[in-house]
Amino acid sequence: MAKINFGGTLEEVVTRDEFPLVKALEILKDETIAIIGYGVQGPGQSLNLKDNGFNVIIGQRKNSKSWDKAIDDGWVEGKDLFEIEEACKKGTIIQYLLSDAGQIEMWETVKKHLTENKALYFSHGFGITYKDQTNIIPPKNIDVILVAPKGSGTSLRRLFVEGNGLNSSFAIHQDHTGNARNRVIALGIGVGSGYLFETTFKKEVYSDLTGERGTLMGAIQGLFSAQYAILRKKGHSPSEAFNETVEEATQSLYPLVAENGMDWMYANCSTTAQRGALDWWKKFRDAVYPVFEELYESVESGEEARITIKANKKSNYRDGLNKELDELKDSEIWRTGSAVRKLRP
């Protein structure tokens, strides 16, 4: 592992230099990787593994939309595409990539095929961390591991095709074989990680749920919505309000942050923008810090898990979810966004 200085703190990470693909392939040469679920992470991880030369099969409910997508992506029924239980039988490594709700629903089916020395792989620590609510408790005679790409499966695949990688965390919950570390790092390299940093199942899910509800999705939508509303209230047109709130951020400034950091983005803006941003960022930090503290405590206590599991158990959950998503889609800010995107050159 390489030691890297992150903001003054030394961390050990795994890169492709010290753990190349050829080493990963050698470690997993006798393994059959069964991808259970072909939704958010399944396509990206499975296709990357397949293209990298690993022995991969898919387990998915037959005649579902995801089954049809797998066929469209080149998986062949009876060859490398099977129903879930058949794939679980064949796999020596079972990548459990169903949704959190799907994992709870299918657990008893999957569990009976977790025979000695197999590996159970997650990309989210939810099921294991909140086992008192999910009842996902693996047998003791297998490895239990995690690789969590820091982004969507779509981004993982897109970056892989471009020759790049998406950073991932990895964790070992249970090392029965004594080879769990090699297995999990090899899988992390195989799915297309840029570099790998170690965590625990608990820390992964705590940070993940906080991020999703915070700066990755929830908080950013809240900030966009508030600024857009103020600009519209003060008489600005939808186009102007959207461009100043979202378009300039996502198309111009955020890429600069990704390229070289926030200070570099500041340095490449006008002195007026620099002065205002430096004056106001701490006010925003101080305003939202208590909200983030409340959010983390809700995640840590298991309350966010309880809310999620309860919501997913409702028979009309999907209808309710679509209604909430439609509310976002039909709001003026995102209807304006649709029009703006069509005008991009």
Catalytic residues: 124
List of residues 6+ apart from 191 with CB closer than 8 A: 44, 45, 48, 49, 147, 149, 156, 168
Q: Which residue has the tokens 């089916």?
A: 109
3-class secondary structure, 255: helix
* Alpha carbon distance 66, 254 (integer Å): 33
List of residues 6+ apart from 47 with CB closer than 8 A: 73, 157, 160
Question: For the sheet containing 143-149, what is the strand order?
Answer: 2-6, 9-15, 193-198, 166-174, 143-149, 119-122, 93-96, 33-36, 56-59, 81-82
**Closest to 151 (Cα-Cα) out of 66, 245, 216:** 216
Residue 145 gets which letter from DSSP?
E
**Closest to 135 (Cα-Cα) out of 162, 102, 169, 107:** 107
Distances (CA, A) of 323 to 6, 202, 320, 335: 42, 32, 5, 16
* Alpha carbon distance 145, 13 (integer Å): 17
- The DSSP line for 51-108 is HTT--EEEE--TTSHHHHHHHHTT--BTTTEE-HHHHHHH-SEEEE-S-HHHHHHHHH
